[in-house]
Amino acid sequence: MGTRHRTFALLTALIVAATTAVPDVPAQAAVAVDAPTIWTMAGTPDGGRVFVGAVEGGVLVVDAGATSAGKVAGIGRAVGLRMGEDGHTLWVGLPNDRQIAAVDATTLAVTARYDVGAEICPGDVAPTGPFVAFAFDCLHYSDQTLPPTPTGVGVLDTRTGAVSLSPPEWSWYEPIIATSPALPGRVFATDYLVHTVSLSMLDVSDGTVRAVTSRKLGMANPVDLAVSPDGREVALTGVDVGGIQTYATTDLSPVTLYPTSCSSRSVAWSADSSRLATMCNGQDYTVALFARGTPTPLRTAAFVGGPERTPVQRGLVLDPDAGRVTIGSSGLWQPTGRYVDRIGLRPASATVTGPARGYTTRASTFTARVLLGGAPAPAGTQVVVYREQPFDNTALGTFTTDATGSVSFTDATPRSGTWTYRAHFPGDESFARTDATATFQADKLPTALTVAFTPIRKKRGSVYGTVAVDLGPTVGHRYVTVTVTTSTGTQVLTSGSVPDGAPFTATCTVTGPTTFTATYDGNDWQDAATATTTAAP
């Protein structure tokens, strides 16, 4: 057993060495916010500041690089948020105050408040030219006990303060809305999380709410709407949408379905309308970024570090260049835990190089290299390395890159077979996650096996002697079987475990031409082997 113990001790040492690495430090920023609920989010055009509609918590502010959230003073229950077309006015729906507020996105001062009606509880807001369209619904947007109140879509003229509402006969449940600066006066609306709904196109260009057209969506359970900045398409996400479905803003005809592996939640476009992103609570990813017109994700990303969490239903801000997404999340095991996560979407790539073949339990060294935006990852970038087979995924450790963006690791496979070494960059605030793999064929160890017959004495046409079997170092068992083949057939002479450093012996009398065969069956680590010798009187 000595050789076996020595070999497994080496294997254990190699694995321990491979897993001696740095602690797992979160690569992304999860900022805890004092928000029992996150309804929606909005961002400044430069991507440097994000606002959170925290409902009971008011309007929170998270700046790039910040580790905590600020707050807009003087704002109570806040639901809908939308950045104005001027790029520096934040519009806020205040259902309990029956108002729409304007907030300076730089100074955070409330610059204006507009009353919309004693029975009108504004939620979603959507600026378009001199108007602000808004969805109103006291039952869902307000936490006050109220008699039945109207639900629908309204429009505020910010020049005069005049308010116009959709006709009461229009049937709305919990409307959500969206606009685009390229389509002044156009408003797109649907109902939030309703099974069978329609997508409506409205016109508010004259300060009143008028229907243009609508399209029945069937089972959709919508969650969010976003109109492309170029005004050509409106994107819709929802529980039963199957991803992101876009519609032409001319007639609401379907354009492209961007499938996701889980129920889609918020949706947003890049500033040039070439990219769109959504989030979902999937096993494979949390965020999916698509190139317009291409239904396969361009990149995906997931949470890294921090508490286990899931994205909220609505709350996603895509940077103008689609290089980063900021999303709201909630802790899975923390009923009141809410976070704002900044997740990079810029391209990253990686390679893994090393030997393609070797022996199991023997050490092999590999190098993983990470490129971020085409340049070597900065020294200290974390890379997680895995050794994988079907149904066997082992993390070898978390390593930090050197100045060339590289990490080296040494490993010995625990058994023979085809293995995959995978280097995983989990992503950070700027760059998306990426993986690279290399295939390694771990052969079984060669087995040195010999058998010899040594005569002791001869007598009357026969030879009495010793059969000795030698077996070199092995991993696993050392059991051999020795057979004797003569003119009358083959039978087992002996079997047993070969000691380390000494032969396994048996005696035999040879009366005619005889072949001795030693057989070692092998195992997961060691090759099978056969050795023969002959003897005659």
DSSP-assigned letters across all residues of 415-435? SSEEEEEEEEE---SSB--EE
SS (HEC) of 74-110: CCCCECCEEECCCCCEEEEEECCCCEEEEEECCCCCE
Alpha-carbon distance of 244 to 227, in angstroms, equals 12
Contact 164, 207 (CB under 8 A): yes
Residues 6+ apart with CB under 8 A from 467: 451, 452, 453, 482, 493, 494, 505, 506, 507, 508, 516
Contact 351, 369 (CB under 8 A): yes
pLDDT confidence tier of residue 11, bands split at 50, 70 and 90: very low
Alpha-carbon distance of 266 to 167, in angstroms, equals 28
Alpha-carbon distance of 481 to 359, in angstroms, equals 25
What's at 325, amino acid-wise? V
Alpha-carbon distance of 71 to 360, in angstroms, equals 59
If you search the block for the tokens 């016109």, which residue do you land on?
Answer: 203
- Beta strand pairing call for 267-269 and 275-279: antiparallel
Is a pLDDT exceeding 80 seen at residue 145?
A: no
Residues 6+ apart with CB under 8 A from 33: 52, 54, 57, 60, 62, 69, 338, 339, 340
Which pLDDT score, from 0 to 100, does residue 102 have?
A: 98
* pLDDT tens string 341-378: 999 999 999 999 999 999 999 999 999 999 999 999 99
Is a pLDDT exceeding 60 seen at residue 25?
A: no
Alpha-carbon distance of 365 to 277, in angstroms, equals 39
If you search the block for the tokens 């993390």, which residue do you land on?
Answer: 395
* pLDDT tens string 296-349: 999 999 888 778 888 999 999 999 999 999 999 998 877 778 999 999 999 999
Is a pLDDT exceeding 80 seen at residue 141?
A: yes
* pLDDT tens string 462-476: 999 999 999 999 999
Q: Identify the helix (H) or strand (E) that includes residue 138.
A: helix 138-141
Which 3 state secondary structure label does DSSP give 202? strand
Mean pLDDT lowest among 402-406, 456-460, 526-530:
456-460
Is a pLDDT exceeding 80 seen at residue 527?
A: yes
Q: Report residue 461 as tokens.
A: 């046409």
Contact 441, 413 (CB under 8 A): no
Contact 210, 226 (CB under 8 A): no
Hey, which bits of 448-528 come out as E strands? 449-459, 462-471, 479-486, 489-497, 504-510, 514-520
Mean pLDDT lowest among 263-267, 435-439, 457-461:
457-461
DSSP 332: T
What's at 429, amino acid-wise? E
pLDDT confidence tier of residue 28, bands split at 50, 70 and 90: low
Average pLDDT over residues 402-431: 96
376: Cα within 13 Å, side-chain hemisphere: 13
Which 3 state secondary structure label does DSSP give 7? helix
Percentage above 70 pLDDT, the chain: 95
pLDDT confidence tier of residue 4, bands split at 50, 70 and 90: very low
pLDDT confidence tier of residue 16, bands split at 50, 70 and 90: very low
- Beta strand pairing call for 210-219 and 196-203: antiparallel
Is a pLDDT exceeding 70 seen at residue 13?
A: no
Is a pLDDT exceeding 80 seen at residue 27?
A: no
DSSP-assigned letters across all residues of 26-85? -SSEEEEE--S---EEEE-TTSSEEEEE-BTT-EEEEETT-SS-EE-TT--SB--EEE-T
* pLDDT tens string 174-228: 999 999 999 999 999 999 999 889 999 999 999 999 999 999 998 899 999 999 9
Domains defined for the chain, CATH in brackets: 2-25+348-443 (2.60.40.730), 71-303 (2.130.10.10), 449-535 (2.60.40)
The residue with greater pLDDT, 463 or 1, is 463
Residues 6+ apart with CB under 8 A from 477: 497, 523
* pLDDT tens string 373-410: 999 999 999 999 999 999 999 999 999 999 999 999 99
Alpha-carbon distance of 75 to 373, in angstroms, equals 41
Average pLDDT over residues 1-20: 39
DSSP-assigned letters across all residues of 352-419? EE--SEEETTS-EEEEEEEEETTEEPPTT-EEEEEEEETTEEEEEEEEE--TTSEEEEEE--SSSEEE
pLDDT confidence tier of residue 29, bands split at 50, 70 and 90: low
108: how many CB neighbours lie within 10 A of its CB? 18
SS (HEC) of 214-263: EEEEEECCEEEEEECCCCCEEEEEECCCCEEEEEECCCCCEEEEEECCCC
Alpha-carbon distance of 187 to 124, in angstroms, equals 12
Which pLDDT score, from 0 to 100, does residue 190 have?
A: 97
Alpha-carbon distance of 316 to 327, in angstroms, equals 4
Is a pLDDT exceeding 80 seen at residue 15?
A: no
What global pTM score does this model have?
0.82
Which pLDDT score, from 0 to 100, does residue 191 have?
A: 96
Alpha-carbon distance of 475 to 526, in angstroms, equals 6
